[in-house]
């Protein structure tokens, strides 16, 4: 056995020496040997079969076609994955279906009397500003317009078109409107917060709004709601005080109610009718973009972070956090500046923009039809409008809270009430509807880590 194996080894060595002598070493031979060695040991399906010496030509062709098809599919799929990664497509998923509402503050509740001014203070105001008998008629007409003044209602100043306003132009009518506006103890009564009776004037504070000068609850304190269900949030009685309304304002009576997040300047108001009990159930939906999206520009992901002040979409009210509604409010101011070179400081926080004086109000009235609606950029081919609106390129905050309101009203039957105070009042009840909220998360469908994982 030993002799036979030794003989085999000697013959193999001799054969190797002869091959080495016949094929002297060159770089080309070295690379060929390395390639032959790799192919003979390769585990890539089909590759080693192409170079197998015993493989027939027909089978070699079939394996070559199969390998070409496999490589084509591989390159095509890799291209699709790479293109999908390059396009940065997003997906929005439900991150949490029962997140606790204890993580968020109770909404800001803003209450505005549709008749903004307490007309009983008119004599005092006339005396304070030295209004002469000759000026009284015009002065009262201006304040009657302010009594129903809101951003979408500049036409209240139509009566001033063509009037000589020089005599009263020195007056600051924003300040006069604030002084004549309703105080908390005049229109709010019987306030309850989380079933405990509270002083209304300690819960509410004055607040500017595109609806006028109003009263806001929980704007700065950011109190959290601990319970859910009817009567567990904010409960109060609203006093109409119709006897102290401007006699020249023919508008409907009642209140405007706005429910917004604490950092939002304005929202769409809810009509609170007289002689009714209004229950407003609030449901919260939270939406955020995860960190994988923050490396992209705001125009790509369609949202703006608080710190992205260099973004082309970062427009907000002075001193206010970036939010969609705050951007829209800033857009409103810019349109007022475009049309009349001033802004209505009664509607917005203090800023460096020039405030409209009395002589500017007819200009606002003449442009009222252009200030009614918000438009989305590039919507004209799909939406028909008789008049152009406010084109505001505003995006959501990447961490935004949506408050959905479910309103129920019941009539109080004023003819059955025992006293006049009860007849002119209405109950308002704002509360969280359920103890949980939906949380949506938006992220990239494919990140670079996912792409590498797909290719491996």
Per-residue pLDDT tens digits for 325-352: 999 999 999 999 999 999 999 999 999 9
Q: What is the pLDDT of residue 15?
A: 46
**Distance separating alpha carbons of residues 448 and 194, to the nearest angstrom:** 49
Q: What is the pLDDT of residue 298?
A: 86
Token duo for residue 169? 């132009």
Q: What is the pLDDT of residue 236?
A: 96
Q: What is the pLDDT of residue 220?
A: 92
CA trace torsion 402, 408, 409, 410 (10° rounding):
-160
CB burial of residue 339 (10 Å; 0-12, 13-18, 19+) = middle
Chain centroid offset of residue 445 CA: 22
Q: What is the pLDDT of residue 44?
A: 62
Q: Determine if the pTM surpasses 0.75.
A: yes
Q: What is the pLDDT of residue 424?
A: 76
3-class DSSP assignment, residue 148:
coil
Q: What is the pLDDT of residue 6?
A: 44
Token duo for residue 126? 């006339």
Q: What is the pLDDT of residue 121?
A: 96
pLDDT tens per residue across span 169-219: 999 999 999 999 999 999 999 999 999 999 999 999 999 999 999 999 999
User: If you average pLDDT over every residue of the chain, what do you get?
Assistant: 85
The widest CA-to-CA distance across the chain, in whole angstroms, is: 139
In sequence order, what are the beta bridge partners of 396?
A: 303
pLDDT tens per residue across span 395-442: 999 999 999 999 998 887 655 555 555 557 899 999 999 999 999 999
Chain centroid offset of residue 366 CA: 31
**pLDDT of residue 43 exceeding 70:** no
Q: What is the pLDDT of residue 75?
A: 84
91 pLDDT band, cuts 50/70/90, is confident
**pLDDT of residue 147 exceeding 60:** yes
3-class DSSP assignment, residue 250:
coil
């Amino acid at each position: 056995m030993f002799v036979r194996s030794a003989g085999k080894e000697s013959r193999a060595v001799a054969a190797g020496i002869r091959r080495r002598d016949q094929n002297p070493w060159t770089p080309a031979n070295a690379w060929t040997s390395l390639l032959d060695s790799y192919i003979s040991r390769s585990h890539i399906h089909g590759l080693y079969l192409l170079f197998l010496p015993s493989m027939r030509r027909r089978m070699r062709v079939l394996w070559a076609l199969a390998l070409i098809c496999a490589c084509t599919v591989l390159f095509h799929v890799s291209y699709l994955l790479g293109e999908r990664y390059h396009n940065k497509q997003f997906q929005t998923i439900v991150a949490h279906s029962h997140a606790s509402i204890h993580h968020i503050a109770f909404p800001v509740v803003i209450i505005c009397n549709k008749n903004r001014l307490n007309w009983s203070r008119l004599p005092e105001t006339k005396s304070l500003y030295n209004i002469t008998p000759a000026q009284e008629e015009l002065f009262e007409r201006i304040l009657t317009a302010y009594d129903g003044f809101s951003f979408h209602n500049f036409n209240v100043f139509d009566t001033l078109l063509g009037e000589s306003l020089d005599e009263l132009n020195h007056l600051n009518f924003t300040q006069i409107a604030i002084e004549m506006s309703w105080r908390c103890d005049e229109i709010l009564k019987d306030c309850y917060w989380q079933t405990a009776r509270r002083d209304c004037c300690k819960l509410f504070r004055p607040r500017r709004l595109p609806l006028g000068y109003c009263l806001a609850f929980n704007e700065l304190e950011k109190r959290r709601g601990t319970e859910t269900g009817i009567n567990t949030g904010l409960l109060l009685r609203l006093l109409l005080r119709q006897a102290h309304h401007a006699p020249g304002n023919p508008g409907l009576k009642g209140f405007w109610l706005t429910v917004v997040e604490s950092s939002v300047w304005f929202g769409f108001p809810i009509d609170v009718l007289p002689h009714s009990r209004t229950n407003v159930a609030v449901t919260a939906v939270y939406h955020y973009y995860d960190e994988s999206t923050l490396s992209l520009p705001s125009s790509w992901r369609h949202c703006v972070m608080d710190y992205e002040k260099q973004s082309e979409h970062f427009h907000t009210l002075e001193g206010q956090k970036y939010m969609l509604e705050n951007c829209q409010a800033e857009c409103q101011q810019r349109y007022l500046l475009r049309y009349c070179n001033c802004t209505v400081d009664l509607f917005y926080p203090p800023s460096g923009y020039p405030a409209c004086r009395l002589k500017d109000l007819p200009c606002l009235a003449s442009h009222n039809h252009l200030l009614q609606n918000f438009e989305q950029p590039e919507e004209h081919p799909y939406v028909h409008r008789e008049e152009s609106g406010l084109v505001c390129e505003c995006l959501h905050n990447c961490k935004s809270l949506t408050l959905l309101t479910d309103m129920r009203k019941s009539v109080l039957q004023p003819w059955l009430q025992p006293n006049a105070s009860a007849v002119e009042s209405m109950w308002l009840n704002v509360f969280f509807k359920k103890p949980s909220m939906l949380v949506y998360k938006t992220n990239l469908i494919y990140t670079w880590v996912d792409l590498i994982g797909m290719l491996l």
